[in-house]
């Protein structure tokens, strides 16, 4: 089998090496451990030894030429072996490392080191990421540092180890933990059960708005938007669906949840929450549904309501509400909503304002649906009207942003066919 | 509490156990008329008579075998080796008879015997009379192996060893007989076998030391404290059974370990402790476990070379600084 000869790491700080002299010519017999070439590193001229037996078939980097670490510089093989496929790889990218090539110690003859399994792959998956060879070879990290990094969600590849040979050790992890976390790059993160979200750095103006509004209006600076919505078509749809299958028992509130979720997906700025120095945007609409219980109120969460059918939402809300009343909800079932809906229509409330459930960005207060005279095409007609008031967290939602969301919500609810378009 | 030497503490333990239990008797070369080569049995012949304190010929295998037989017959012999170097001659009786009798007799014969004497490096007595061979005995199931490092430990552990129903190898450090310390006056003071002692508490590095290296480790810890490194010094006291839980708990706190021992590194107790730590506390280690051992050569006679062959405070300090990434 042919052996690739790659530019070895012959000094701890070496990034590339220059071939000073080839000690073998193409066609010469070479055996394992025999000096093959002299290489100028950033520090000294070092001898490179052959890591395979056979014939030096091809020299790819001539004397006086330089190659980065890991690049294919020659091929050792049997005299009649086909090495075309190996040659086609040249010049190999630096991270392609010949398996037998020792990378940590400066002495290429240390074969034992090369036989050890690399540390990095044991570590990186703990961060939920694929292991990746570092430019200069495997990552060296103490077991404790690896565990601490995994627990703190620190990407080891972002660190420079301060231990011997660049080993990442406890104090390197502690230094990162004690430092204020840098604003994370926008990327989606998945927590068990809850919605996927991405964190984006809050802009300076957003941070300033946040600070000022908090100091002027209390911990969560609310503002309120009210709209009156014509509910005839929604009511008609509900009646129609329930006529198909009385077991479905779809309520107006279920339709509101579904519509809110659809509108949230169209307005991601509203499906968001303000956290210290970041604004968190959720990918799914996890809608909290306020349920009155004996000594207070609780908001069980319909996860990913945007992806559920009306019948699923109806069944889920019914089931959650029942267990909420019997106080059998698990904590993960009533926390972590991205938006909430509170409905006091059944109490005959025309309109009201609800208090946001932090860290959600908004809550929608639903009033009673009542028949009212309204003007349509210059005529007074009777319509089922419902007033909704959205409370917004001004740190994350501005007036126009909330208004646009409410506009969409109203449009869909007045024309529920949009749900299927 | 009285301040006495390890020699006196051992003498007290023997006297008290001889007085407490008439089945206990002493046997060995020069233990009676001469008061013991290291005077550990001083005055005991006079006090207990020649049925309880018996001089033997220079026949280690023979009197070790007599001891095993006496133990099978219900007595509780304490067999002194003039030094453990000579126990090498008696290993067949110790390993093949004493250690295995309970197992091979199907539980019919337990062997309540103590083999005791000086061990480890001595002063300029060269290769054959200056060596630490505790890992030999710790290797065998059926034996318990004890190495005290203070007068109180010496007394409390020897009394427990004599009262123990299994064979116990009790190794006293030849250089440490004159070391002084407080010892409780209570005649029933004992220290259980198999329980480690935290000799000094610390937060940055755990030093596991035994016998001769305990005082060295404590001195190193003092120096290191001045350099801003807090060391925890643990003396297992019994290396079989080994109180690994105490060691692992300390490692989980400090994340770094140095094992200091005067014995050779290869297949030593330090190697065993190191493996246990790796198996039980891998995720808590911030640095490789570092051993400071006796040099892997027969003990030299020349004073300057002897000093280089035995661990000292400087080597322990350097090892601690290395695992704490200070250099």
CA-CA distances (angstroms) from residue B79 to B63, B72, B114?
A: 8, 14, 6
ipTM metric: 0.78
Cα A13 versus chain centre, distance: 34
Instruction: Locate A329 and state its tokens.
Output: 């909800």
Mean pLDDT of A152-163: 86
Which residues sit opposite A75 in a β-bridge?
A4, A58
* Fold exhibited by the domain A197-420: Chloramphenicol Acetyltransferase (3.30.559)
Angstroms from B271 CA to nearest CA on chain A: 19
Contact B283 A143 (CB under 8 A): yes
pLDDT value at B188 more than 80? yes
Average pLDDT over residues A304-318: 91
Chain A contact set for B251 (CB, 8 A): none
Lowest mean pLDDT among A132-136, A305-309, B33-37: A132-136
Share of chain A above pLDDT 90, in %: 30
CATH of A3-110, one of 3.40.720.10, 3.40.50.300, 3.40.50.620, 2.40.50.100: 2.40.50.100
Q: What is the mean pLDDT of residues A170-197?
A: 70
Contacts of A301 (CB under 8 A, 6+ apart): A286, A287, A288, A289, A320, A333, A334, A335, A336, A337
Residues of A in contact with B255 (CB under 8 A): 144, 170
* pLDDT surpassing 50 at residue B172: yes
Q: pLDDT tens for residues B13-23?
A: 999 999 999 99
Extended beta strands in chain B, E state: 2-5, 24-28, 53-55, 76-80, 114-119, 144-146, 168-173, 180-183, 197-200, 205-209, 231-235, 238-240, 257-260, 290-292
Task: Give yes or no for a contact between B284 and B252, defined as CB atoms under 8 angstroms apart.
Answer: yes
Dihedral sign for Cα atoms in the order B34, B40, B42, B47: negative
**Percent above pLDDT 70 for chain A:** 80
CATH architecture of the domain with residue range A117-178: Irregular (4.10)
CB atoms within 10 A of CB B72: 18
Considering only CA atoms, give the Rg of chain B.
20
Distance separating alpha carbons of residues B290 and B314, to the nearest angstrom: 14
Domains in chain B, CATH or no CATH each: 2-183 (3.40.50.970), 197-323 (3.40.50.920)
- Confidence tier at A120 by pLDDT (50, 70, 90): very low
How much is the pLDDT for A44? Answer: 73
Which stretch, A94-103, A107-116, A157-166, has highest mean pLDDT? A157-166
Choice among A91-105, A406-420, B45-59, B124-138 with the minimum mean pLDDT: A91-105
**Cβ <8 Å between B285 and A171:** no
**Best mutation target, B286, B321, B323, B326, to test chain A (most A CBs within 10 A):** B286
Question: Is residue A194 a contact partner of residue A347, using CB atoms and an 8 Å limit?
Answer: no
Q: Does B326 touch chain A (CB under 8 A)?
A: no
Q: Report DSSP state, residue B92.
A: I
On the question of pLDDT at B88 being above 80, the answer is yes
* pLDDT band at residue A113 under the 50/70/90 scheme: very low
| C-alpha radius of gyration, chain A, whole number | 33
For residue A211, the model assigns a pLDDT of 65
Structure tokens at B71: 């133990």
Cβ-Cβ contacts under 8 Å for B283 (sequence gap 6 or more): A143, A144, A146, A147
| Residues of chain A positioned with their CB less than 8 A from the CB of B284 | 143-144, 147
Q: What would the two tokens of residue B273 be? A: 């402790």
Residues across chain B: 327
Which tokens belong to A29?
A: 């017999």
Model pLDDT, residue A126: 36
Mutation site, A170, A171, A174, A175, interface B, largest B CB count within 10 A: A170
Which of A3, A73, A61 lies closest to A32, judged by CA?
A3
Q: What is the pLDDT of residue A122?
A: 35
Q: Is the pLDDT of residue B130 over 50?
A: yes
Spatial separation of the C-alpha atoms in residues A172 and A144, rounded to whole Å: 11
Tokens of B100: 């295995």
Interface test with A, best of B277, B281, B325 (most A CBs within 10 A): B325
Distances (CA, A) of A206 to A203, A275, A282, A338, A402: 5, 11, 18, 19, 16
Separation between Cα atoms, residue A262 and residue A265, nearest integer Å: 5
Question: Chain A residues with CB inside 8 Å of B325's CB?
Answer: 162-164, 169, 171
Provide the H-helix boundaries in A154-231.
170-178, 204-217
Quick one: pLDDT at residue A381?
A: 93
- Across-strand partners of A297? A292
Nearest-angstrom CA–CA distance, A131 and A338: 33
Do residues B168 and B22 touch, judged by C-beta distance below 8 A? no
Nearest of B313, B322, B244, B252 to residue B288 by alpha carbon: B322
Name which residue leads in pLDDT, A279 or A214: A279
**pLDDT at res. A216:** 55
Give the model's pLDDT for residue A99: 41
User: Does the active-site annotation cover A394?
Assistant: yes
Mean pLDDT in residue range A27-41: 85
pLDDT at A214: 65
Which band of pLDDT confidence, cut at 50, 70 and 90, is reported for residue A106?
very low
What's the mean per-residue pLDDT of chain B? 97
Decide if pLDDT at B110 tops 60: yes
What mean pLDDT do residues A198-213 have?
A: 68
Distance CA A286, CA A361 (A): 12
Percent of chain B exceeding pLDDT 70 equals 100
Q: Give the Cα separation of B222 and B317 in Å (integer).
A: 10
Per-residue pLDDT averaged across B167-173, rounded? 98
Least confident of A65-69, B4-8, B153-157: A65-69
In this structure, the strands spanning A222-230 and B238-240 are: unpaired
Q: Quote the distance between the C-alpha of residue B51 and its chain's center.
A: 28
Asked which of A22-36, A192-206, B96-110 is least confident by mean pLDDT, the reply is A192-206
pLDDT tens digits for range A354-385? 888 888 899 999 999 999 999 989 999 999 99
Show residues of chain B in contact with A162, CB under 8 Å.
325
Out of A143, A170, A171, the one facing B282 most closely (by C-beta) is: A143
Q: pLDDT of B236-274, one tens digit each? A: 999 999 999 999 999 999 999 999 999 999 999 999 999
Is the backbone of residue A115 left (phi > 0), alpha (psi -120 to 50) or beta? alpha
Band the pLDDT of A194: cuts 50, 70, 90: confident
Task: Report the mean per-residue pLDDT for chain A.
Answer: 80
Whether B286 and A164 lie within 8 Å, measured CB to CB: no
Question: What is the tens place of the pLDDT at every residue in B267-310?
Answer: 999 999 999 999 999 999 999 999 999 999 999 999 999 999 99
Q: Which range is most confident: A246-255, A307-316, B84-93? A: B84-93
Residues B154 and B5: their CA atoms lie apart, in Å, by: 10
Q: Which residue of B has its CA nearest to A149?
A: B283
Catalytic, out of B8, B29, B60, B262: B60
Burial of B65 (0-12, 13-18, 19+ CB in 10 A): middle
| Residue A117: pLDDT over 70 | no
Q: Cβ contacts (< 8 Å) between A146 and chain B: which residues?
A: 283
Q: How far is B327 from chain A (nearest CA, A)?
A: 10
**Alpha carbon of B264 to those of B134, B165, B296: distances in Å?**
10, 30, 5
A169 and B325: CB-CB below 8 Å? yes
Q: How many whole angstroms separate alpha carbon A48 and alpha carbon A42?
A: 15
* pLDDT reported for residue A245: 86
Given a cut of 70, whether residue B115 has pLDDT beyond it is yes
Alpha helices in A57-134 (DSSP H): 84-87, 111-115, 120-123
Put simply, the chain B residues between 283 and 312 with a CB less than 8 A from any chain A CB are 283-287
pLDDT of residue A220: 81
* Contact (CB, 8 A) for B317 and B216: no
Q: Which residue of B has its CA nearest to A123?
A: B283
Under the banding of pLDDT at 50, 70 and 90, the label for residue A182 is: low
User: Domain limits of chain A?
Assistant: 3-110, 117-178, 197-420
Note the pTM of the prediction, 2 decimals. Answer: 0.54
The predicted-structure confidence for A45-98, as pLDDT tens digits, reads as follows 788 888 888 889 889 888 888 888 888 899 888 888 888 877 776 654 444 334
Residue of B nearest to A151 (CA): B283
Q: Which residues of A touch B (CB under 8 A)?
A: 142-147, 162-164, 169-171
Mean pLDDT for A299-313 is 91
3-class DSSP assignment, residue A363:
strand
pLDDT at A217: 60
Q: Do B325 and A162 touch (CB under 8 A)?
A: yes
pLDDT score of A209: 64
Q: Please tell me the distance in Å from A181's CA to the nearest CA on chain B.
A: 23
CA distances from A302 to A112, A273, A308, A374 (A): 56, 17, 9, 34
d(CA A82, CA A398): 68
């Amino acid at each position: 089998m042919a052996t690739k000869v790659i530019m070895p790491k012959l000094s701890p700080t070496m990034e590339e090496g220059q071939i000073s002299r080839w000690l073998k010519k193409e066609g010469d017999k070479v055996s394992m451990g025999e000096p093959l070439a002299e290489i100028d590193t950033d520090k000294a001229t070092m001898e490179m030894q052959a890591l395979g037996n056979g014939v030096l078939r091809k020299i790819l980097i001539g004397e006086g030429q330089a190659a980065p670490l890991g690049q294919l510089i020659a091929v050792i093989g049997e005299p009649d072996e086909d090495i075309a496929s190996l040659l086609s790889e040249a010049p190999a990218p630096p991270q392609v490392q010949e398996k037998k090539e020792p990378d940590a110690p400066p002495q290429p003859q240390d074969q034992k080191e090369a036989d050890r399994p690399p540390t990095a792959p044991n570590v990186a998956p703990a961060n939920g990421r694929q292991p990746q060879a570092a430019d200069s070879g495997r990552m060296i990290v103490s077991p404790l540092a690896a565990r601490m990094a995994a627990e703190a969600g620190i990407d080891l590849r972002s660190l420079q180890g301060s231990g011997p040979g660049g080993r990442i050790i406890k104090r390197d992890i502690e230094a990162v933990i004690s430092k204020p976390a840098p604003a994370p790059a926008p990327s989606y993160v998945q927590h068990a059960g809850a919605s996927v979200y991405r964190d984006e750095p809050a802009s300076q103006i957003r941070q300033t708005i946040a600070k000022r509004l908090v100091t002027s209006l209390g911990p969560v600076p609310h503002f309120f938007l009210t709209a009156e919505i014509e509910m005839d078509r929604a009511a008609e749809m509900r009646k129609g669906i329930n006529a198909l299958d009385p077991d479905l028992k779809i309520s107006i509130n279920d339709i509101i949840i579904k519509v809110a979720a659809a509108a949230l997906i169209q307005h991601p700025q509203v499906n968001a929450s303000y956290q210290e120095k970041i604004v968190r945007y959720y990918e799914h609409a996890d809608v909290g549904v306020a349920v009155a219980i004996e000594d207070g109120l609780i908001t069980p969460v319909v996860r990913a309501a945007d992806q559920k059918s009306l019948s699923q939402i109806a069944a889920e809300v019914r089931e959650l509400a029942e267990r909420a009343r019997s106080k059998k909800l698990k904590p993960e079932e009533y926390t972590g909503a991205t938006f909430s809906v509170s409905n006091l229509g059944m109490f005959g409330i025309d309109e009201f304002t609800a208090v946001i459930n932090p860290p959600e960005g908004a809550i929608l207060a639903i009033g009673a649906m009542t028949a009212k005279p309204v003007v349509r095409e210059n005529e007074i007609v009777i319509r089922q009207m419902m007033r909704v008031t959205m409370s917004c967290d001004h740190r994350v939602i501005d007036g126009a942003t909330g208004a646009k969301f409410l506009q969409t919500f109203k449009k869909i609810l007045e024309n529920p066919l949009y749900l299927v378009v | 509490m009285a301040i006495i030497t390890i020699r006196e503490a051992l003498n007290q333990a023997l006297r008290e156990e001889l007085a407490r239990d008439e089945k206990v008797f002493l046997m060995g070369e020069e233990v009676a008329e001469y008061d013991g080569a290291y005077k550990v049995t001083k005055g005991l012949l006079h006090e207990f008579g020649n049925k309880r304190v018996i001089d033997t010929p220079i026949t280690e295998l023979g009197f070790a075998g007599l001891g095993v037989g006496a133990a099978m017959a219900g007595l509780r012999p304490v067999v002194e080796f003039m030094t453990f170097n000579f126990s090498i001659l008696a290993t067949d009786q110790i390993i093949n008879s004493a250690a295995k009798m309970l197992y091979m007799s199907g539980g019919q014969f337990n062997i309540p015997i103590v083999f005791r004497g000086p061990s480890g490096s001595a002063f300029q007595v060269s290769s054959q009379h200056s060596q630490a061979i505790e890992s030999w005995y710790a290797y065998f199931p059926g034996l318990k192996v004890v190495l005290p490092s203070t007068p109180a430990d010496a007394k409390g552990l020897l009394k427990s060893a004599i009262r123990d129903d299994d064979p116990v190898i009790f190794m006293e450090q030849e250089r440490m007989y004159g070391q002084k310390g407080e010892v409780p006056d209570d005649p029933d003071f004992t220290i259980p076998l198999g329980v480690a002692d935290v000799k000094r508490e610390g937060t940055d590095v755990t030093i596991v030391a035994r016998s001769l290296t305990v005082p060295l480790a404590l001195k190193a810890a003092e120096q290191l404290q001045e350099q801003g490194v807090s060391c925890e010094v643990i003396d297992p006291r019994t290396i079989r059974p080994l109180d690994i839980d105490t060691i692992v708990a300390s490692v989980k706190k400090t994340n770094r370990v140095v094992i200091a021992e005067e014995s050779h590194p290869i297949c030593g107790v330090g190697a065993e402790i190191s493996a246990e730590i790796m198996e039980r506390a891998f995720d808590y280690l911030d640095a490789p476990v570092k051993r400071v051992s006796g040099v892997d050569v027969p003990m030299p006679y020349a004073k300057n070379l002897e000093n280089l062959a035995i661990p000292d405070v400087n080597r322990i300090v350097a090892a601690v600084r290395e695992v704490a990434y200070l250099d």
